[in-house]
Amino acid sequence: MSNLLIKNGRVVDPSQQMDDTLDVLILDGKVSAIQSGIDASPGVRVVDAAGCIVTPGWVDMHTHLRDPGFSHKETIASGALAAAAGGFTSIACMANTKPVNDNPFVTSYIYQKASSCDVNVYAIGAITKGLEGKQLAEIGSMFEAGIVGISDDGATVQDSYIMRKALDYSRKFDLVVISHAECTCLKGLGVMNEGVNSTRFGLRGNPKAAEEVIVARDILLAELTGARLHIAHVSTAGSVRLLREAKAKGIKVTGEATPHHLILTDDAVGNYDTNTKVAPPLREQVDVDALIEGVKDGTIDALATDHAPHSVTEKEVEYDLAAFGMVGLEIALPFYYRLHLEKGVPLSRIVEAMTTAPAKILGIPKGSLKPGADGDVSIFDPKSEYRIDKTTFKSKSRNTPFDGYKVQGKVRFTVTGGKVIYSASEETR
Ligand code: DOR
């Protein structure tokens, strides 16, 4: 456990309505004080955060770490390094590993591997055995082993009865049920959004309704069961509307949006770069605008990367054959920050969506710099402009369509338990 004094930064902490130039003192790994003019004491490392924005450590509630089973794409260690470089102090990893995290042995394996990482890694368990959608996974024993939610992400639970049972059962543990909303029948063999562009590009389309029918179904089932439902990677204006209406009715549903769905439209698929192939697919400008509006008014509670590493052999193939997904941990910040710079989303709302909101959904004690909280802090320079360079990624995979993008907002320091686990200046030295 470490001692750290972060001086002169603009501290934005929505959990205590704080937005001021202050110093943050962390002693023995916990936040000890936040006020101006704290003097350094012997044995306390000092970080100069002048000109930077200092926030509670960012929580990414949706990553894929690929271990066990696909460690050529990512390991828990490489994913944790990528997270730290991207400013994230806590990440939750999805269950679509091999074997699937559908039992306490895999959950314990993940936590054992994560114990040597500087980033806090949380495991999300599967809803159904083998992600097959037929039988519930060992949810109770995985809960005892430490899972923070359940999801068949990457494979939607198609059977409404099984989904109802999962929602019912989740209440016993107050676990959030995270829905990857895509109806297999409607999606068919679609590889991009169904619309004018899929016709123009000659690729099979996946209609927005494929997502929206599952969002609507799961909202109805959440109402029926009283369980906590979270919609992963919301991509359509219709889903945002459904979420907004459900929330107004008091149904316990939350939602997240990814950097790519907030930035790109299906126009990006026009160069057949397989790094644009993602599930759910990139949509249209009306959807991007609705997502941004949803983040602004809180209908979209959380920002989440859906970091989905894939190797070159799975991406350098025909569009139809390529794997779905793109990496996100190391590029997320400037795209989230852009919502404030260019789209008028208040900075405090963005920070909330990166910290307090995902922590609350997962039920983890993170996302706040209140005295006594864990000393997890993310510090970024809001003015720094640069180009994304995928060759610098810590991730084992580089499947991003954003290579070379000019962006603003750079992670300077990432801190967990008062220990600096990433420093941009040490990187470039
Ligand atoms: O594009 C995606 N890739 N979406 C998902 O939901 C799963 C992910 C993966 O595991 O590669």
* Residue bearing the CA closest to ligand 1, atom 1: 325
Contact 57, 67 (CB under 8 A): no
Give the distance (Å) from ligand 1 centre to CA of residue 155.
9
- Specify the 3-state DSSP secondary structure of 96: coil
Q: Is the pLDDT of residue 221 over 70?
A: yes
In a domain, 342, yes or no: yes
Q: Are strands 4-13 and 53-56 parallel, antiparallel or unpaired?
A: parallel
Do 393 and 288 lie in one domain? The reply is no
Going by alpha carbons, the residue nearest to atom 5 of ligand 1 is: 154
Is 207 within 8 Å of 190 (Cβ atoms)?
A: yes
Distance 281 CA to ligand 1 centre (A): 10
Q: Starting from the edge strand earliest in sequence, which strands make up the sheet with 253-257, in order? A: 149-151, 176-179, 229-231, 253-257, 302-303
How far apart, in whole angstroms, are the C-alpha atoms of residue 188 and residue 326? 21
What the block records as the tokens of 98 is 């091999």
Tell me the percentage of the chain whose pLDDT exceeds 90. Answer: 98
Tokens 């790094």 found at: 275
227 and 108, same structural domain?
Answer: yes
Measured from the CB, is residue 311 less than 6 Å from ligand 1?
no
148 in any annotated domain: yes
Last residue of a domain, one of 307, 329, 362: 362
Residues marked active site are found at 306
Same domain, 23 and 65: no
Same domain, yes or no: 67 and 49:
no
**What average pLDDT score do residues 305-328 get?**
98
Question: Using a 6 Å cutoff on CB, does residue 96 contact ligand 1?
Answer: yes
- Residue 336 maps to which CATH number? 3.20.20.140
Q: State the Cα angle at 165 between 163 and 170, rounded to 5°.
A: 95
- 214 has a pLDDT exceeding 60: yes
Q: Is residue 29 part of a domain?
A: yes
Of all protein residues, the one whose alpha carbon is nearest to atom 6 of ligand 1 is 154
Q: Report the chain's terminal Cα–Cα distance, integer Å.
A: 26
d(C-alpha 13, C-alpha 66), whole Å: 32
Count of domains observed in the chain: 2
Q: Are residues 88 and 120 in the same domain?
A: yes
Site to probe by mutation for ligand 1, drawn from 153, 314, 319 as the one with most ligand atoms within 8 Å of Cβ, is 153
- The whole-number average pLDDT for the span 77-106 is 98
Whether residue 209 sits in one domain with residue 129: yes
C-alpha atoms less than 13 angstroms from C-alpha of 52 in its C-beta half-sphere: 23
Query: Measured from the CB, is residue 325 less than 6 Å from ligand 1?
Result: yes
Residue 168 and residue 213 in one domain: yes
Q: With H, G, I as helix, E, B as strand and everything else as coil, classify residue 34.
A: strand
User: Nearest Cα to 414, choosing from 8, 54, 89?
Assistant: 89
117 domain residue, yes or no? yes
Ligand 1 centroid to Cα of residue 344, in Å, is: 29
- CA distance readout (Å), 179 to 64, 114, 239, 374, 419: 15, 25, 12, 29, 34
What separation in Å is there between the alpha carbon of 325 and the centre of ligand 1?
5
Does residue 318 sit within a domain? yes
| Co-location of 423 and 288 in the same domain | no
pLDDT at 429 over 90: no
From 62, 64, 151, mutation site for ligand 1 pocket: most ligand atoms within 8 A of C-beta = 64
422 and 393 share one domain: yes
Same domain, 83 and 207: yes
Q: In what order do the strands lie in the sheet with 88-93?
A: 58-63, 88-93, 120-123
Q: What is the mean pLDDT of the chain?
A: 97
Q: Tell me: do 261 and 400 sit in the same domain.
A: no
Does residue 239 have a pLDDT over 60? yes
Write down the pLDDT at residue 72.
Answer: 97
Q: Is residue 175 in some structural domain?
A: yes
State the Cα–Cα distance between residues 163 and 139, nearest whole angstrom. 13
154 Cα to the center of ligand 1, angstroms:
5
Inform me whether the pLDDT recorded for 48 exceeds 50.
yes
Instruction: Identify the burial level of 196 via C-beta atoms within 10 angstroms of its C-beta, where 0-12 means exposed, 13-18 middle and 19 or more buried.
Output: exposed
CATH number for the domain harbouring residue 408: 2.30.40.10
Q: Does 118 contact ligand 1 (Cβ within 6 A)?
A: no
Report if residue 367 sits inside a domain: no
248: Cβ–Cβ under 8 A, 6 or more apart, which residues? none
Domain that holds residue 138: 57-362
Q: Cα(308) to centroid of ligand 1, in Å? A: 6
CA dihedral 210, 211, 214, 219 (to 10 degrees): -150
At residue 133, φ and ψ (nearest 5 deg) are 75, 15
Q: Is the CB of 192 within 6 Å of ligand 1?
A: no
Q: What is the pLDDT of residues 86-97, one digit of tens each?
A: 999 999 999 999
Domain-ending residue, one of 313, 341, 362: 362
CA 14–ligand 1 middle distance (angstroms)? 30
Contact 64 CB / ligand 1 (< 6 Å): yes
Confidence check: pLDDT of 394 > 90: yes
Q: Is 327 in the pocket of ligand 1 (CB under 6 A)?
A: no
Write out the H or E segment, with its range, that includes residue 47: strand 45-48
Query: Is the minimum distance from the CB of 180 to ligand 1 under 6 angstroms?
Result: yes
- Residue written as tokens 């690929």? 66
Q: Is residue 11 part of a domain?
A: yes
- Picking from 362, 384, 417, the residue at the C-terminal end of a domain is 362
Task: Give dist(CA 238, CA 211) in Å, integer.
Answer: 9
DSSP alpha helix (H) spans, 171-284 = 184-187, 196-201, 208-225, 237-248, 259-263
Atom 4 of ligand 1 has which residue's CA nearest to it? 279
Helix (H) or strand (E) holding 45: strand 45-48
Same domain for 174 and 92:
yes
pLDDT > 90? residue 426: no
Q: Is the CB of 154 under 6 A from ligand 1?
A: yes
- Percentage of the chain beyond pLDDT 70 is 99
| Band of residue 1 on the pLDDT scale cut at 50, 70, 90 | low
For the CA of 323, the closest atom of ligand 1 is 11
